[in-house]
Amino acid sequence: MPPDIHVMPVEASFRPALLALTVSDEQYAFVGRIAASLADAESCAGSEPMAILCDGEPIGFYRIERHANTLAEVEFVRPTLGLRSFFIDTRWQGRGLGTRALEAVMHDMAHRYPWARDVALTVNLRNAPGIALYRRAGFRETGGLYHGGRSGPQYLMVCALPVLTAN
């Protein structure tokens, strides 16, 4: 049976486990340190820190930006959320969990933010695994580049949120 992957807002009970998550040295250029991202998300009114859980254990992190224009200083035509700082801990990478986690993220966003239609993110041009993951999930480049990142130019990518049906 595959592991249970789900997402939820960061709770105090697993904050220490989140702070212990890491990525490879090369990935830090793209995602940064969890402590800084978590603190920033907790201090920004429009940002929500989220945990990725595998069988109840924190294995990753991301943040939701309720105002996607904070990602790349772009105005979106449709109501759009931002996805920032998405990562899976280095010990859990290479198992297909990033794909499953991103599916859970998208369904969670569609459920909790029914007004939103799309999700936007930026990904560094040198982050080939990240670009591949986002493309597999349905994200597409908008045609422009964002040059405000600390590690160089980034693609701005957008994906429609899934349409949820009533059960």
Q: 111 with 142: CB under 8 angstroms?
A: no
Alpha-carbon separation of residue 84 from 55, 56, 68, 122 (angstroms): 23, 22, 10, 8
Contacts of 141 (CB under 8 A, 6+ apart): 155, 156, 157
C-alpha count within 13 angstroms, C-beta hemisphere, residue 82: 23
* Beta bridge pairs of residue 6: 53
Given pLDDT bands bounded at 50, 70 and 90, which one contains residue 74? confident
Question: Which two tokens mark 117?
Answer: 């239609």
For the chain, what is the mean pLDDT? 89
| Domain boundaries 5-116, CATH class | alpha beta
Using one digit for the tens of pLDDT, what is the confidence trace for 15-44?
999 999 888 777 767 777 888 888 888 898
